[in-house]
Structure 1
Amino acid sequence: MKRALLIVAAAAAVAGPALADEALAKAKNCMACHAVDKKLVGPAYKDIAKKYAGDAKAVDMLAHKIQKGGAGVWGAVPMPANPQVNDAEAKKLAAWVLSLK
């Protein structure tokens, strides 16, 4: 029984951050326009991660776009500003998006 609990706890520790960040994306309504692996209104998160892979400034740039919005990078549809997302949340969301493969 103890061994099973340790295995479950270890699995939760590994999966926890990814699930927590996806939960944050859902809570902040990001998933209304984005999906992890397919284009909706906006690009797939995996496409964003691929485009900015290796860019040391990507977390800050994406966090800024999450909060302030943007246009022209992924087509004609603009991304609206998300003032309900604070600085720490925006950076956490950006880091999560960039971690997707």
Structure 2
Amino acid sequence: MKALILSLALIAPAAAMANQELAQKKNCMACHAIDKKLVGPSYKDVSAKYAKDKDAAKKLADKIVKGGSGVWGPVPMPANTQVTPAEAQTLAKWVLTVK
């Protein structure tokens, strides 16, 4: 049992890092950072804003793929054509875990 708990403890941070790596690979980090505003809001701010929204992962995944505007100010978020819908879902779920 201890081995299982230890294994899970080691896997969880690796999974979170893998999604940050996906964000870097797909150029999300060019406009977003974990804890500070760049061109777009920080991932911490996005996570906080959508914390109580049960449809947040779907909304964010759609914005990643299609782009959007007006939610965080006048600068639009362009569509990320490098991201598949499945990757967008992974990224959105990860963003919502950033605290």
TM value normalised by structure 1: 0.88
Q: In the aligned structure 2, how far is the partner of 1:58 from the partner of 1:19?
A: 21
Q: In the aligned structure 2, how far is the partner of 1:68 from the partner of 1:34?
A: 17
Identify the residue that residue 94 of structure 1 maps to in structure 2: 92
Shift of 1:14: 2.4
**1:32 corresponds to 2:27:** no
**Correspondence list, 1:13-92, <5 A:** 13-92=11-90
SS, match of residue 96 in structure 2: helix
For these two proteins, the number of residue pairs brought into alignment is: 96
Task: Structure 2 unaligned segments of length 5 or more: list them.
Answer: 1-5
**Overall identity of the aligned pairs, in %:** 60
Task: Structure 1 unaligned segments of length 5 or more: list them.
Answer: 1-7
**Which amino acid is the alignment partner of residue 22 of structure 1?**
Q
Q: In the aligned structure 2, how far is the partner of 1:87 from the partner of 1:10?
A: 27
Shift of 1:93: 0.3
Q: Which digits, 9 at most, give the CA deviation of each residue in 1:28-82, with x for residues without a partner? A: 0000000000000000000000000021100000000000000010000000001
Shift of 1:12: 3.4
Q: In the aligned structure 2, how far is the partner of 1:71 from the partner of 1:46?
A: 19
**Which amino acid is the alignment partner of residue 43 of structure 2?**
Y
Shift of 1:84: 1.2
Q: In the aligned structure 2, how far is the partner of 1:27 from the partner of 1:12?
A: 23
TM value normalised by structure 2: 0.90
**Which amino acid is the alignment partner of residue 44 of structure 1?**
S
**Which amino acid is the alignment partner of residue 39 of structure 1?**
K
